[in-house]
């Protein structure tokens, strides 16, 4: 049976959410992100700003040079997560076969909604999200995930400049290769800058050019990726919707606005990050065996160090202690740091089995549960772990 896959992408999501809170931003060149004098980058930008060449991941300092009157809005990620959940709830009301791939993007398998015309369903979904949440979105529909996502991108590119695309592109089953053929090669999954350059040297510039090239030669030149390119260029993709992803690690990191060389300040930040990681573990009923430290020096050199513990943990104290030891092992006193992060991997269910004399551990765990409840109810600042001077 032919599948019908719908791909939905919320247009300029962070900016669209900000516009719902401040309508004066509509039509204005603005960006969500950090300040230009604090190493900020563009997390999202309005379509009015995109006309001047501003794009996501661009340093904010460069964005301001392109658009001197650019309005900069600080990100509100908790708000974006809440709004994202509202959108995803709508998708789950249509079908349980939903694969969320980012905060603003998801695939749906609507094959079983046989009484629904796909175009009519997509337009109604766009209208519901716009009317109820005041958010624009673009949709692509095809027989597989690859073509559905590219269809969404095509819809976005064909939109009127300066305004949300609100695109809807449908590729009928059997027309996948014909739809892809005229598109540039770099729109195909697996074609990054290096692969694109090598393809260009061969005179391959479009997806159709890839489809016409002998598969054996692509495999010889690009290995297994070459075979995938050949299949994808012909519109083939048999991946199913994945409704759940196993959490492999939980981490927190921060980039300082200015390099930090003060030992106590750095250790305080590390404690806060480790505490947040531990809290996330407990909230998800997980514990992990491997604690990892990530650190970046001012010259952008980035190091990671990790330690595997004898038993899985979700304890603030144990994660903090391990992370601090890793920090002291890798960093010299007063050595400046640009970024620092803490992560825990090797996740599984917490081990609650106690030894005969482990009453102290049990008391510590119960105390931590009370602290978590207080912070959940009254905010993180209601109670803090004490620190010895």
Residues recognised as catalytic: 105
In this structure, what DSSP letter does residue 257 have? Answer: E
- Give the integer Cα–Cα distance in Å for 173 and 142: 7
Q: 3-class DSSP state for residue 190?
A: coil
Q: CA–CA distance from 190 to each of 56, 199, 210, 227 (Å)?
A: 20, 12, 12, 11
- Give the integer Cα–Cα distance in Å for 203 and 78: 47
CB 163 within 8 A of CB 29: no
Of 232, 227, 212, 240, nearest in space to 147 by CA:
232
- Count CA within 13 A, CB hemisphere, residue 311: 9
Which helix (H) or strand (E) segment is 8 a member of?
A: strand 5-10
Q: Which tokens go with 256?
A: 């300082």
Give helix 224-233 / helix 215-222 axis angle, nearest 10°: 140
- Give the integer Cα–Cα distance in Å for 283 and 271: 18
Taking the CA atoms of the chain, what radius of gyration do you get in angstroms?
25
Q: Which tokens go with 295?
A: 């650190």
Q: CA–CA distance from 359 to each of 278, 317, 338, 363 (Å)?
A: 21, 17, 41, 6
Q: Name the E strands within the chain.
A: 5-10, 30-33, 42-45, 71-73, 98-102, 105-109, 137-142, 168-170, 249-260, 287-296, 302-313, 337-348
């Amino acid at each position: 049976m032919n599948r019908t896959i719908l791909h939905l992408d919320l247009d300029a999501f962070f900016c669209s959410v900000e516009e719902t809170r401040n309508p004066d931003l509509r039509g204005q060149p603005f960006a969500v992100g950090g300040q230009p004098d604090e190493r900020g980058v563009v997390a999202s930008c309005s379509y009015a700003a995109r006309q001047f060449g501003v794009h996501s991941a661009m340093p904010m300092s460069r964005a301001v040079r392109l658009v001197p009157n650019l309005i900069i809005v600080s990100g509100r990620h908790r708000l974006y997560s809440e709004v994202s959940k509202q959108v995803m709830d709508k998708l789950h009301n249509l079908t349980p076969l939903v694969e969320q791939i980012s905060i603003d993007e998801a695939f749906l398998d609507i094959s079983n909604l046989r009484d629904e015309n796909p175009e009519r369903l997509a337009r109604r979904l766009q209208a519901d999200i716009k009317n109820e949440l005041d958010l624009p979105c673009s949709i692509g529909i095809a027989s597989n995930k690859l073509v559905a996502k590219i269809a969404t991108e095509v819809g976005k590119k064909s939109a009127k400049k300066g305004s949300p695309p609100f695109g809807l592109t449908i590729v009928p089953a059997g027309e996948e290769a014909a739809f892809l053929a005229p598109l540039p090669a770099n729109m195909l999954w697996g074609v990054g800058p290096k692969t694109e350059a090598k393809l260009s040297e061969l005179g391959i510039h479009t997806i159709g050019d890839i489809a016409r090239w002998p598969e054996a030669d692509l495999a010889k030149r690009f290995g297994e990726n070459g075979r995938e390119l050949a299949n994808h260029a012909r519109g083939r993709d048999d991946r199913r919707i994945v409704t759940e992803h196993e959490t492999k690690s939980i981490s927190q990191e921060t980039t300082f606005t200015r390099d930090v060389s003060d030992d106590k300040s750095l250790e305080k930040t590390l404690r806060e990050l480790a505490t947040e990681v531990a809290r996330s573990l407990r909230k998800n009923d997980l514990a992990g065996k491997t604690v990892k430290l990530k650190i970046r020096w001012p010259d952008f050199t980035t190091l990671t160090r990790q330690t595997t513990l004898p038993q899985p943990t979700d304890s603030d104290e144990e994660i903090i202690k391990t992370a601090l030891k890793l920090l002291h092992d890798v960093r010299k006193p007063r050595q400046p740091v640009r970024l620092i992060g803490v992560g825990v991997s090797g996740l599984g269910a917490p081990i609650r089995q106690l030894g005969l004399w482990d009453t102290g551990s049990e008391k510590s765990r119960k105390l931590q549960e009370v602290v978590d409840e207080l912070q959940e109810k009254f905010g993180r600042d209601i109670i803090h772990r004490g620190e010895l001077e």
